[in-house]
Chain A
Amino acid sequence: MIIDLEFFVSILPYLLEGIKITLEVSLTSFIIGFIISSIITPTRIFLKIPFTLPADSYVELIRGTPVLVQLFIIYFGLPSIGIYFDPLWAGIIALGINSGAYQAEIFRSSIKSIPESQYLAAESLGMSNLQIYRYVIFPQAVRIAIPALINELVTLVKESSLVSIIGVTDLMRRGEYIVASTFKAFEVYIVVAIVYFLICYTLSFISRKIEKILKIPGYERS
């Protein structure tokens, strides 16, 4: 097979337009997921069963079903009860709700990973519950959560390609259009894959930098 560089260059501008949509879908759904998880994490940490049930059920249901099914329920299912979204927003909402469950799990496990001894020390100093979480637990939990959160964003970038199925002209959909008109599936999808890889690799790189900045000094020795 001869690599046709000219062809690669000619399709790039059209594909790059799709990156905007891919990033818009990924970032907006990440923010929606962050808001959802910020609301439900405290209920899962501070409340006791049965009050945690709604939040726990949401997390389990979302994590236990494919994101594609969730997307179809929102885009194809909801119109039957009179709720309509355009493809872009259906995609963003589905991925946002999906990501909320995963982010909530990241926050819960990060907070739970702080040793009991930290709570005891803070309590013994006379701190209130609010002070314990604000000054002792959250600053440590956030450091633990950040790599997993950025990993979740990387996952979202990749999962955002699913919105192409419902007609959103993201990076993936644009690739499909080019394949349909040129029949050069191999070359086109390789370029699409490289673009996804570059986005994800950049995010991983940023994650490592943030991790380094937030690392607790001396941690590597213990």
Chain B
Amino acid sequence: MKEIVRIENLSTGYGKQKVLDNISLKVYEGEKVVIMGPSGSGKSTLLKSIVKLVEPWSGKIFLNGFEVTSPNIDIRKIRQMTGFVFQNYNLFPHMTVLKNILLPLRIVKKMSKENALKQAIKVLKEVNMLEFKDKYPLQLSGGQQQRVAIARALAMNPIVLLLDEPTSALDPDLRDEVLNTLRKIANEGIAMIIVTHEVDFAIDVADRIVFMDKGRILEVGRPREIIYKTKSDMIKRYLKSIHVG
């Protein structure tokens, strides 16, 4: 299977504080990888490092064969190959839903107006948000905003979708609509790396769970092996804290 993301001995942090310590991980074409772990374990930093939204201190990252960490790489070209979904949606509030999706297609992907519009409508249909295309983000619920953010990421035709706690800012009833959207997308064969605490979702969707603690990978395995058969006290404690097991 084709390797989409390869992380080799990555260390990084903020200021002088180390957040990731010697992380290595591979993600393959179409694979769904869920990253779990307690707060402050470095999950989001790992995700951001993949597209250099956080500068790596040492180690290498490859995306579709291109070395992200190389000083000669055009990082904007790398970012265009990925779709990033943030915890707080991060839509542009001064633009309509449609414009949020059209903007990167027009100015980054340089698509024609007609093609960009076709693509935007296609992804909005996919997340069931087409009827809200003329609304502004702040006129929508959190769940709806997150679905638009997913559509915006999908519109770029990414080879991997990076999702940073896509449901943790949402109320339980809004969470399901986002998770169901993600389940639908997961069936379409795109590689996904998802930082989440949603265990049921991880069991349903993930091919592997990567469990992190204190900036290191503690365990990698199939979801049921990690959730139900782990020998790690740390993971058991974490699962207990989120009411599993």
A and B co-occur in one complex: yes
CB neighbours of A118 from chain B (8 A):
90, 92
- Chain B residue with the shortest CB-CB distance to A220: B138
Known contacts being A128-B76, A216-B138, A218-B139, is A136 close to B92, with CB within 8 Å?
yes
Inter-chain contact B108/A216, CB cutoff 8 Å: no
CB neighbours of A123 from chain B (8 A):
53, 79
CB neighbours of A219 from chain B (8 A):
93, 138
Name the distance in Å between B109's Cβ and chain A's nearest Cβ.
8
Contact partner of B156 (CB less than 8 A), chosen from A121, A125, A131, A135, is A125
Contact partner of B136 (CB less than 8 A), chosen from A127, A135, A216, is A216
**Interface residues of B: mostly helix, strand, loop or mixed?**
loop
CB neighbours of A117 from chain B (8 A):
86, 88, 90
Inter-chain contact A217/B138, CB cutoff 8 Å: yes
| Residues from 73 to 91 in B contacting A, C-beta threshold 8 Å | 76-77, 79-80, 82, 84, 86, 88, 90-91
Q: Is B107 on the interface with A (CB-CB < 8 A)?
A: yes
Name the distance in Å between A146's Cβ and chain B's nearest Cβ.
13
State in angstroms the CA–CA spacing of A118 and B86 once bound together: 11
Inter-chain contact A126/B104, CB cutoff 8 Å: yes
State in angstroms the CA–CA spacing of A219 and B137 once bound together: 9
Inter-chain contact B136/A124, CB cutoff 8 Å: no
Interface size on B, residues (CB 8 A): 27
CB neighbours of A140 from chain B (8 A):
92-94
**Interface residues of A: mostly helix, strand, loop or mixed?**
helix
Inter-chain contact B94/A127, CB cutoff 8 Å: no
Q: Is A221 on the interface with B (CB-CB < 8 A)?
A: yes
State in angstroms the CA–CA spacing of A120 and B136 once bound together: 20
State in angstroms the CA–CA spacing of A128 and B92 once bound together: 16
Inter-chain contact A124/B93, CB cutoff 8 Å: no
Instruction: Give me the 6 closest cross-chain CB pairs, A-B, nearest first.
Output: A218-B138, A121-B90, A218-B139, A124-B84, A126-B80, A126-B79
12 contacts between A and B (CB under 8 A): A117-B88, A118-B92, A121-B92, A123-B53, A124-B86, A126-B77, A131-B107, A139-B94, A140-B94, A216-B94, A217-B138, A218-B136
